[in-house]
Structure 1
Amino acid sequence: MKRKKPIDPNAPLSYPQQMKLLRKQRAFWKSLGVDDPEQAPTHVHHLRWKYSDVTDEDLLLLTGRVRSVHLLDLDGADITNEGVRHLARMEYVQELRLKECGLLDEGCLPFLAEMTGLELLHLGGTAIPIAALDALQPLQKLRLLLVKADDTEEIRGHLHRLQALLPDCILNLNHQQFTDTRPWWDRLGPEP
């Protein structure tokens, strides 16, 4: 199924395109119980779109008005890296749950890295390889990162490196807290 490219509200639009966008915005906000898009909140505490039909275009429309979200649950949504790019436009997101968003791959990591207020990030069941998670180093406020992967020595090596990059973050591998079981002298790293 090929997705239509959404209209970008920041691009110069013809009058028919502007009218089409306005109709989409009204329908989107009406589906959320807001009659007038101008009255839509700029902050939302919880937004749960778990296993819903939310699209990248919905995220574009959401971020056109909402600037911050405490908890955004998109588990199981069919969003792509483009949807995460739209989310990165927000000023603040504290918890982002992307579990089972199977269309997400490492192409979304630069956008996630822009979301420096993140404290919880759930990436289990995405197509993002563990080896690519070093790109999340800018997320120094991250306290919990949940991932899913085969528990192999190679994966553990990547998680050791990630733990060094995000020292205040608890890494959760397959619903188990990842613990560095190496001897303390091996965790010190190379001599200067």
Structure 2
Amino acid sequence: MSIEELPQDQIPEGSEVSILSKNEKKARDLIKKLGLKEIKGISRVTLKRKGNFILAIEKPEVYRSVAGTYVVFGEAKVEDLNKRYAEAMAAQQAAQAAAGVSQEGGAPKDPASITADLQAASLTEKKEEEEEEDVDAVVDESGLEASDIELVIQQADVSRAKAVKALREYNGDMVSAIMSLTE
């Protein structure tokens, strides 16, 4: 007894069984007599029609002749590409809107600007860490004038400890100290 002869209630669930009509059985027998060879491994066949409509056959049985013609068996379903494009665009716009809402600005950023933002944030963190270290350090200002230190702090926008260190490094030369701190 073949699987086609089993009653439908005896076919196990989840099994892939195709029940063929008499005409389909006759066509398959004739194809076998013609010498067509079955091609395995094809999961979908699509045929394009006018107006962006396609016929799609899922899990087809495909046969090929020696001359290069194909015979395809399976259930053909009509798909509207215009509808699929519209759905894809709507989904893409929804994703962009969700990404835009999650950011503080409006439009989503490109990878280069995101990288630049991350680098700027890391530089700001380093600067804050250095300033914290400078605040904790006791500064020896002996031999330097307070007005010179204040001028270097204002011009280079640095902490008092950095200004004193730069002035000591350049023997009290304010211009060289400011130049070294602003590079």
How would you bin the TM-score normalised by the shorter chain?
A: under 0.3
With normalisation by structure 1, the TM-score equals 0.23
Question: Which of these two proteins has the greater Rg computed from alpha carbons?
Answer: 2
With normalisation by structure 2, the TM-score equals 0.24
Work out which structure has the larger RCO, using CA pairs closer than 8 Å and 6 or more positions apart in sequence. Answer: 1
